[in-house]
């Protein structure tokens, strides 16, 4: 059933990711195209509670499709976890005349939107924006493609110096609880070993693999370590462990950190963001709510937010097998 919505809010929430600006641009431009007012909500739920709003038109989002980060800023908001906080946010939205919103973020942001919809029957639509790629209901989250390309470029540079000095590097990458960035960028960068939380093969196996690499004539090695890895040792402790048990290696560490969250989005992320923004606005105007826009086999699909946040996406078993074969 079509809805009479005339004013839509848009905001970014949680860890930022490349492509968020492209999604904001698409939501704003779709509203302009459909003659709907669009209001930018700054700093996520915190800004919603404070009424930090600004009307956006088609020109407000010029020259941002190619920029990382988010012009609407982002934040994590403890107050929104409380009923009182959500009530304040609701009152602000009503005062501004906002009748629905599009939230661009990850699991935590979607959970907040779902609660908000349940408590106030307020129409919400989610666009998955996180470099982790850990949200059910979509093969890609905005920022993931850019992040794995950032990691591959960084590891290529690290490999230059590793091979010059015959060194072993432990490279830590983001992903909070999942190993998608580590596994995909690890295969893409030709890492000798990839440690992910979904497959804890233990330290003995790591030593055996490194011994085999050395014996096979490899003078340098790269081990990608997901930040959520469960060996029980962080990358600095892994360095010490290898130095103690395999003194043949000269070991160094590189923690890529938040650079993985920045950078100009890839074309894939820009196009995906543009498609998702249109779908989110049109779905709201069709009277739909409490869904996340996702992509499956190149087609856009809607998943109830309650299903999208149930668990993390699983590691691709076929890619895991490819990774094992490639480390021969
Ligand atoms: O969820 C995205 C993410 O970048 C994770 O990969 C990472 O663990 C986390 O955010 C870092 O959070 P913060 O930016 O708050 O330190």
Report CA torsion sign: 58, 59, 60, 66.
Answer: positive
Q: Is the CB of 176 under 6 A from ligand 1?
A: yes
Which has the higher per-residue pLDDT, 75 or 143? 143
Q: Please check whether residues 88 and 221 belong to one and the same domain.
A: no
- CATH number, domain with residue 52: 3.40.50.450
- CATH number, domain with residue 216: 3.40.50.460
Q: Is the CB of 174 under 6 A from ligand 1?
A: yes
Q: Please check whether residues 128 and 206 belong to one and the same domain.
A: no
The helix (H) or strand (E) run that includes residue 296 is strand 291-296
- Which residue is closest in CA terms to ligand 1's atom 15? 15
Q: Please check whether residues 277 and 251 belong to one and the same domain.
A: no
Residue 319 CA: distances (Å) to CA of 153, 186, 201, 225, 272: 20, 11, 16, 16, 23
User: Best of 14, 132, 255 to mutate for ligand 1, by most ligand atoms within 8 A of CB?
Assistant: 132
pLDDT confidence of residue 327: 82
Of 199, 226, 261, the one marking the end of a domain is: 261
Q: Please check whether residues 250 and 167 belong to one and the same domain.
A: yes
Is residue 200 a part of any domain in this protein?
A: yes
Residues 77-101 have a mean pLDDT of 97
- Which residue is closest in CA terms to ligand 1's atom 3? 15
For 2-15, the pLDDT digits (tens) are 779 999 999 999 99
Residues 276-283 have a mean pLDDT of 98
Nearest-atom number in ligand 1 for the CA of 76 is: 15
Q: Which two three-digit tokens encode residue 269?
A: 């992320």
- Which residue is closest in CA terms to ligand 1's atom 12? 15
As for how many domains the chain has, the answer is: 2
Is residue 94 a part of any domain in this protein?
A: yes
Phi-psi sector, 171: left (phi>0), alpha (psi -120 to 50), beta? beta
* pLDDT > 80? residue 180: yes
The helix (H) or strand (E) run that includes residue 251 is strand 250-255
Q: Is the CB of 312 under 6 A from ligand 1?
A: no
Q: Is the CB of 175 under 6 A from ligand 1?
A: yes
**Percent of the residues in the chain that have a pLDDT greater than 70, as a whole number:** 100
Q: Please check whether residues 47 and 85 belong to one and the same domain.
A: yes
Which has the higher per-residue pLDDT, 88 or 219? 88
pLDDT confidence of residue 1: 66
Whole-prediction pTM value? 0.96
Q: Report how far residue 113's alpha carbon sits from residue 310's, in angstroms, rounded to the nearest whole number.
A: 14
CA-based end-to-end distance of the chain: 57
Is residue 44 a part of any domain in this protein?
A: yes
Residues 272-278 have a mean pLDDT of 98
* pLDDT > 90? residue 254: yes
Least confident of 199-208, 238-247, 255-264: 199-208
Is residue 2 a part of any domain in this protein?
A: no
Which residue range is the domain that position 126 belongs to?
7-143+265-308
For 7-63, the pLDDT digits (tens) are 999 999 999 999 999 999 999 999 999 999 999 999 999 999 999 999 999 999 999
Residue 118 CA: distances (Å) to CA of 47, 89, 295: 21, 14, 25
Q: Please check whether residues 227 and 174 belong to one and the same domain.
A: yes
Catalytic residues: 132
pLDDT confidence of residue 286: 98
Q: Is the CB of 133 under 6 A from ligand 1?
A: no
Q: Is the CB of 112 under 6 A from ligand 1?
A: no
Distance of CA 142 from the midpoint of ligand 1 (Å): 14
Q: Please check whether residues 21 and 37 belong to one and the same domain.
A: yes
Residues 200-204 have a mean pLDDT of 88
Q: Please check whether residues 16 and 70 belong to one and the same domain.
A: yes
User: Best of 176, 181, 229, 309 to mutate for ligand 1, by most ligand atoms within 8 A of CB?
Assistant: 176
Q: Report how far residue 186's alpha carbon sits from residue 180's, in angstroms, rounded to the nearest whole number.
A: 9
Helices (H), 51-191: 83-96, 107-120, 144-164, 180-189
143: confidence class by pLDDT, cuts 50, 70, 90 = very high
For 287-311, the pLDDT digits (tens) are 999 999 999 999 999 999 999 999 9
User: What residues have CB less than 8 Å from 110, skipping those under 6 apart?
Assistant: 103, 126, 135, 292, 305, 308, 309
Q: Report how far residue 184's alpha carbon sits from residue 180's, in angstroms, rounded to the nearest whole number.
A: 6
pLDDT confidence of residue 328: 78
pLDDT confidence of residue 76: 85
Q: Please check whether residues 167 and 188 belong to one and the same domain.
A: yes
């Amino acid at each position: 059933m079509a809805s009479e919505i005339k004013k839509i809010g848009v905001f970014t929430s949680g860890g930022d990711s490349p492509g968020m600006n492209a999604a904001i641009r698409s939501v704003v431009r779709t509203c302009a195209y459909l003659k709907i007012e669009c209001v930018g909500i700054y700093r996520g739920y915190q800004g919603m509670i404070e009424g930090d709003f600004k009307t956006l038109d088609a020109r407000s989002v010029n020259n941002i499709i190619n920029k990382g980060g988010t012009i609407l800023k982002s934040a994590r908001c403890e107050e929104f976890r409380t009923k009182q906080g959500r009530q304040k946010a609701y009152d602000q939205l009503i005062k501004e005349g906002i009748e629905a919103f599009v939230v661009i973020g990850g699991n935590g942001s979607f959970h907040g939107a779902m609660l908000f919809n349940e408590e106030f029957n307020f129409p919400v639509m989610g666009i998955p924006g996180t470099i982790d790629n850990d949200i059910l209901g979509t093969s890609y989250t905005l920022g993931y493609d850019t992040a794995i390309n950032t990691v591959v470029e960084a590891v290529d540079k690290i490999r230059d110096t590793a091979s010059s000095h015959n060194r072993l590097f432990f490279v830590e990458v983001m992903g909070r609880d999942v190993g998608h960035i580590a596994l995909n960028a690890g295969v893409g960068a030709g890492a000798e070993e990839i440690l992910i939380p979904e497959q804890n093969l233990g330290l003995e196996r790591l030593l055996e693999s490194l011994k085999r690499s050395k014996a096979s004539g490899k003078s340098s090695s790269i081990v990608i370590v997901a930040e959520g890895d469960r060996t029980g040792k962080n990358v600095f402790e892994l360095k010490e462990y290898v130095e103690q048990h395999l003194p043949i290696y000269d070991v160094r560490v590189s923690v890529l950190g938040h650079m993985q969250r920045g950078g100009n989005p890839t074309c894939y992320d820009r196009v995906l963001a543009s498609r998702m923004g249109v779908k989110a606005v049109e779905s709201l105007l069709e009277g739909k709510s409490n869904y996340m826009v996702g992509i499956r086999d190149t087609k856009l699909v809607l998943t109830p937010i309650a299903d999208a946040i149930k668990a993390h996406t699983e590691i691709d078993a076929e890619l895991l097998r490819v990774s094992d074969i490639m480390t021969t």
